Chains A and B, each alone.
Chain A
Amino acid sequence: MEEILLTMRGICKSFPGVRALDKVNFTLRKGEIHALMGENGAGKSTLIKVLTGVYPKDEGEIRVEDRPISIHSPQDAQKNGISTVYQEITLCPNLTVAENMFIGRTEGVGVNWKQMEKRTGELLSGLGIPARPKQQLGSCSIAVQQMVAIARAVDAQCKVLILDEPTSSLDDKEVEMLFRLMRDLKSRGVGIIFVTHFLEQVYAVSDRITVLRNGVLVGEFKVENLPQVELVSRMMGKELEGLSDLEKEKSAGALEGETLYQAEQLSSTEARPFDFRIAKGEVNGFTGLLGSGRSESVRAIFAADRVTGGKVRMNGKPVNVTSPYQAMKAGIGYLPEDRKRDGIIADLSVRENIILAMQVMKGFFHPLSKKQMEEFADEYIRALEIKTASQDTPVGSLSGGNQQKVILARWLLTHPQYLILDEPTRGIDVGTKTEIQRLVLKLAEEGMSVTFISSEIEEMLRTCSRLIVMRDRKIVGELRGSELTQSNVMYTIAGGGKENG
Chain B
Amino acid sequence: MAEQKKNLFFYRNSQLIVPLVAIGLLLVFNLIRDPSFFSVSIGTNNDGNPVLQGNLVSILNGASELAILAMGMTLVTAASGGQDISVGCLAAIAGSVFVKVLRAGEITGWSVALGILLCCLVAMVFGCFNGTLVSVFKIQPMIATLILFTCGRSIAYWINGGATPTVSSPIITAIGSFIPGIPVPTPILIVILVGILFTVAFRLTTLRLYIQTVGINQGAAKLNGINPLRIKLLAFIILGACCSVSGVIGVSRLSLINHETLLLNVEMDAILAVAIGGNNLGGGKFNMIGSILGAYAIQALTITLYAMKVPSTDVKAYKAIVIILLVVLGSPVVKDAFRRLRIRLSGGRLTAGKGAL
Contact: B213 with A367, CB < 8 Å? no
Judged by a CB distance under 8 angstroms, whether A360 is at the interface is yes
Contacts of B206 in A (CB 8 A): 359-360, 363-364, 366-367
Contact: B224 with A365, CB < 8 Å? no
Stretch of B46-54, B215-223, B305-313 lying at the A interface? B215-223
In the complex the two chains form, what is the Cα distance from A392 to B1 in whole Å?
12
Contact: B217 with A345, CB < 8 Å? yes
Contact: B355 with A397, CB < 8 Å? yes
Contacts of B213 in A (CB 8 A): 345, 348, 356
Contact: A389 with B4, CB < 8 Å? yes
| Chain B, range 330-357, C-beta contacts under 8 Å to A | 353, 355-356
Contact: A324 with B222, CB < 8 Å? yes
Judged by a CB distance under 8 angstroms, whether B199 is at the interface is no
Shortest Cβ distance from residue B183 to the other chain A in the assembled complex, whole angstroms: 37
Which of B206, B207, B221, B223 has the most C-beta atoms of chain A within 10 angstroms of its own C-beta? B223
Q: If A352-B209, A367-B204, A393-B356 touch, does A345 touch B216 (CB 8 Å cutoff)? A: yes
| Chain B, range 1-41, C-beta contacts under 8 Å to A | 1, 4-5, 8, 12
Contact: B4 with A357, CB < 8 Å? no
Contact: A397 with B225, CB < 8 Å? no
Q: If A348-B213, A392-B8 touch, does A342 touch B223 (CB 8 Å cutoff)? A: yes
Contacts of B223 in A (CB 8 A): 302, 304, 324, 334, 336, 342-343
In the complex the two chains form, what is the Cα distance from A394 to B216 in whole Å?
12
Encoded as 1 (CB less than 8 Å from any B CB) or 0, chain A from 318 to 332 comes to: 000001110110000
In the complex the two chains form, what is the Cα distance from A348 to B214 in whole Å?
11
Judged by a CB distance under 8 angstroms, whether A341 is at the interface is yes
Judged by a CB distance under 8 angstroms, whether A361 is at the interface is yes
In the complex the two chains form, what is the Cα distance from A352 to B220 in whole Å?
13
| Chain B, range 172-226, C-beta contacts under 8 Å to A | 203-207, 209-210, 212-213, 216-217, 219-226
Contact: A393 with B8, CB < 8 Å? yes
Closest chain B residue to A366, Cβ basis: B206
Shortest Cβ distance from residue B355 to the other chain A in the assembled complex, whole angstroms: 3
Q: Is the interface of B mostly helix, strand, loop or mixed?
A: helix
Judged by a CB distance under 8 angstroms, whether A135 is at the interface is no
Judged by a CB distance under 8 angstroms, whether B227 is at the interface is yes
Contact of B225 among A325, A343, A346, A352 (CB under 8 A): A325
Q: If A341-B219, A392-B8 touch, does A365 touch B204 (CB 8 Å cutoff)? A: yes
Closest chain A residue to B4, Cβ basis: A389
Judged by a CB distance under 8 angstroms, whether B284 is at the interface is yes
Contacts of A393 in B (CB 8 A): 8, 355-356
Q: If A344-B220, A347-B216, A364-B210 touch, does A389 touch B203 (CB 8 Å cutoff)? A: no
Judged by a CB distance under 8 angstroms, whether B285 is at the interface is yes
Contacts of B1 in A (CB 8 A): 390
Contact of B285 among A347, A357, A361 (CB under 8 A): A347
Shortest Cβ distance from residue B225 to the other chain A in the assembled complex, whole angstroms: 4
Contact: A367 with B205, CB < 8 Å? yes
Shortest Cβ distance from residue B356 to the other chain A in the assembled complex, whole angstroms: 6
Contact: B209 with A356, CB < 8 Å? yes
5 nearest A-B residue pairs (beta carbon): A397-B355, A325-B225, A360-B225, A367-B206, A328-B225
Interface residues of B (CB under 8 A from A): 1, 4-5, 8, 12, 203-207, 209-210, 212-213, 216-217, 219-227, 284-285, 353, 355-356
Please, could you name 6 A-B residue pairs with CB atoms under 8 Å apart, sorted by A? A328-B225, A363-B206, A364-B205, A364-B210, A394-B355, A397-B355
